[in-house]
A and B are shown apart, each in its own frame.
Chain A
Amino acid sequence: ETGVTQSPTHLIKTRGQQVTLRCSSQSGHNTVSWYQQALGQGPQFIFQYYREEENGRGNFPPRFSGLQFPNYSSELNVNALELDDSALYLCASSFGGLGRNEQFFGPGTRLTVL
């Protein structure tokens, strides 16, 4: 059984660019949640995908969008990057589409926006 994996590990972009981050969920899981963790803060919920549909969204602007594929892997896309988007982006997989089911986190993608 493989755990949650994320790619890339690190990424450097400039303001205004677009970025795509990828997440492979744990085997048997059908739900992926994305979080943004800024330096010195806890993870902040961006959105969740359950069976390929967005199943909840936090307080993030529309330039943060996502996809979930039939194999339940997921992408997070961020358009028009801003300096404040620099953070660790975590994805977590679970089963059942409910936040209180145990979530398994990947190691994260560290995004730096210059």
Chain B
Amino acid sequence: DQQVKQNSPSLSVQEGRISILNCDYTNSMFDYFLWYKKYPAEGPTFLISISSIKDKNEDGRFTVFLNKSAKHLSLHIVPSQPGDSAVYFCAASDRNDDMRFGAGTRLTVKP
């Protein structure tokens, strides 16, 4: 059962522009959401998180937006840099802390 979906397998953006990565979920019990970044041959690295009591969390160039009514979250990267090129995973957990991951979106930032 795919409770967390990332419908775009890939995204290509020009350096300096905004990257927007999207994620949808189906389980209304999810109350904590995370984004991870993964480079080849490395494990995923935590990037940013948001609790369901918020609708926005910002950390430097990275901002996560949560729309609970639409069961949708997005990660904005501004400005995008070539070093941001990686696979980005969206993840969600509920009170039982059972974490579910999306399939990932491969972001390519072109110089």
CA distance A33 to B32 in the complex (A): 17
Q: Which residues in A have their C-beta under 8 angstroms from that of B44? A: 43, 90, 105
B20 to nearest A CB, angstroms? 19
B45 close to A45 (CB less than 8 A): no
B60 within 8 Å of A (CB atoms) = no
Interface string of B79-92 (1 = CB under 8 A from A): 00000000001010
Q: How many residue-residue contacts, CB under 8 A, span A and B?
A: 52
Give the secondary structure class of B's interface: loop
Q: Is the CB of A107 within 8 A of B41?
A: yes
Residue interface bits A103-114, CB-to-B below 8 A is 1, else 0: 111111000000
- The smallest C-beta distance from B106 to any residue of chain A, in angstroms, reads 11
Chain A interface, number of residues (Cβ within 8 angstroms): 23
Closest partner residue, chain B, to A33 (CB atom): B99
**Considering only CB atoms, which chain B residue lies closest to A57 in the complex?**
B98
A79-114 near B? 1/0 per residue, CB < 8 Å = 000000000001010000011101111111000000
Q: Are A106 and B101 in contact (CB under 8 A)?
A: no
Do the beta carbons of A42 and B102 come within 8 Å of each other? yes
Task: Determine if B42 is an interface residue (Cβ-Cβ < 8 Å).
Answer: yes
Interface residues of B in 70-111 (CB under 8 A from A): 89, 91, 93, 96-104
Which residues of chain B have a CB within 8 Å of any CB of chain A? 4, 6, 9, 32, 36, 41-46, 49, 89, 91, 93, 96-104
Q: Which residues of A contact B (CB under 8 A)?
A: 4, 33, 35, 40-45, 56, 58, 90, 92, 98-100, 102-108
List 14 A-B pairs, Cβ < 8 Å.
A33-B99, A35-B101, A41-B104, A42-B4, A42-B6, A42-B89, A42-B102, A42-B103, A43-B44, A58-B98, A90-B44, A99-B93, A100-B93, A100-B97
Give the 7 A-B CB pairs with smallest separation, nearest first: A105-B43, A99-B97, A42-B101, A99-B93, A99-B99, A100-B32, A43-B101
Apart from A42-B104, A99-B93, what 14 extra A-B contacts exist at CB < 8 Å?
A: A33-B99, A41-B104, A42-B101, A42-B102, A42-B103, A44-B101, A56-B96, A90-B43, A99-B99, A100-B32, A100-B49, A105-B36, A107-B41, A108-B43
